Amino acid sequence: MRRRAHGQDDRPVEPDRERKSLSSEQTFATDLREESILSSVLLEEVEEVAERLRRHGLKARTITLKLRYGDFRTVTRSETLKEATNLTKPLWEAAERVFRKWQMRSGGPLRLLGFAASGLEPEHAGQQWLFPDPEQEKLKRLDDIVDKIRDRYGKGAVRRGLTADPDTRESTD
> 103: helix, coil or strand?
helix
- In angstroms, the CA 68 to CA 50 distance is 22
pLDDT at 170 over 50: no
Single-letter code of the amino acid located at 82: K
Average pLDDT over residues 9-38: 87
Tens digits of per-residue pLDDT, 121-152? Answer: 998 876 666 677 888 899 999 999 999 999 99
Single-letter code of the amino acid located at 44: E
Ordered structural domains, the chain, with CATH: 19-124+132-154 (3.30.1490.100)
> 168: helix, coil or strand?
helix
> 76: helix, coil or strand?
strand
Residue of 166 and 150 predicted with greater confidence: 150
> What pLDDT is recorded for position 127?
64
- In angstroms, the CA 95 to CA 79 distance is 8
The pTM of the full predicted model, rounded to 2 decimals, is: 0.80
